[in-house]
Structure 1
Amino acid sequence: MLNGGVLAGIARHAFPKAAMEVLDEVAVTVEGGLHGDFRGAVKPGGRGRRQVTLMERGDWQSALAELGAVAPWQERRVNLLVDGLDLPQVPGALLRIGADVVLRVTVECDPCSRMETVLPGLMAALTPDWRGGVCSRVVAGGILRLGDPITVELN
């Protein structure tokens, strides 16, 4: 175990460009990712590299500070906000959240041009050093709740 943090936020969106719904808890499955989130379902023949997305609270706050702005974290459009944890920038690293959920980091979660509609300059502010977060695939499902502990294991 490298370090630990806590789950500080949970959000999902039912379809592309839909508003983000902030939750206190959510079910997660290997087949469907976060219940009710359109990105979670693994398409036939797909790899599910973007089933669940995560970002560090500190990275979000740093990006906003650079812009002198304030915006709620869910505007980043990631599923999970983590606090007190450096997300691994290593594909294959495992994130254990709560009692049962295990996610495998797949790729960097590159900020898209939609960030510019949130705040001008936000896409660039989220680009360095994986600040936009990580994408992951569900290895083991369960229930996620705000405040769940998160630990990192590298393979």
Structure 2
Amino acid sequence: MTSGRLMGIARHDRPRGPMETLDHVAVTFSEGLHGDFRGAVRPGKRPRRQVSLIEAESWAAALAELGRPDDPVLPWWVRRANLLTQDIRLPREVGAVIAIGADLRIEVTTECDPCSRMEEIASGLKAVLTPDWRGGVLGRVIAEGDIAVGDEIRIFA
């Protein structure tokens, strides 16, 4: 099994709200990332989009294709993803499990398709995030845990 590292954590408390970066956070069944509005589970609903993850390598490739590598105006969290991974390829199949730190387990539910909001951030960003799940993955919490930047990430297919 290969492993990677958690390189960033971000959340936003409301739609279109500013992103807040964190060093650590609790991730639960009922909230997803504590304080992130997208993770909350509505009564009677099965969560699909509690946590979003993007690979640092995919973000870098998208910016390079856009002709804006190392652009300080485009840090990873403008993608509005919750977690930034490095040195591990996120699964491209529904049902795979991503383990972060000692306890957190996230089941992949779908690809995180880039939305029109990406065009508001930078012209062409939506298109360069579209191929090969470059926009990341979405998942639901199947085992709660506290996570921190630097934690190990493992994949269970």
Query: d(CA) in 2 for partners of 1:137 and 1:8?
Result: 20
Query: d(CA) in 2 for partners of 1:89 and 1:46?
Result: 24
Question: What is the Cα deviation at residue 142 of structure 1?
Answer: 1.3
* Aligned partner of 1:113 among 116, 129, 132: 116
2:85 is aligned with 1:82: yes
TM-score of the superposed pair, with normalisation by structure 1: 0.97
Query: d(CA) in 2 for partners of 1:47 and 1:57?
Result: 29
| Contiguous gaps of at least 5 residues in structure 1 | none
| Contiguous gaps of at least 5 residues in structure 2 | none
State the one-letter code of the partner of 1:77.
R
| Identical columns (%) | 58
Report the secondary structure of 1:124's partner residue: helix
State the one-letter code of the partner of 1:31.
S
Moved over 4 A (4+): none
Report matched runs for 1:45-60 at 5 Å: 45-60=44-59
Report the secondary structure of 1:6's partner residue: strand
RMSD across aligned positions (CA): 0.7
Question: What is the Cα deviation at residue 148 of structure 1?
Answer: 0.2
Q: Give the total of aligned pairs.
A: 153
Report the secondary structure of 1:16's partner residue: coil
2:154 is aligned with 1:151: yes
Query: d(CA) in 2 for partners of 1:85 and 1:46?
Result: 31
Q: Which residue of 2 aligns with 1:122?
A: 125
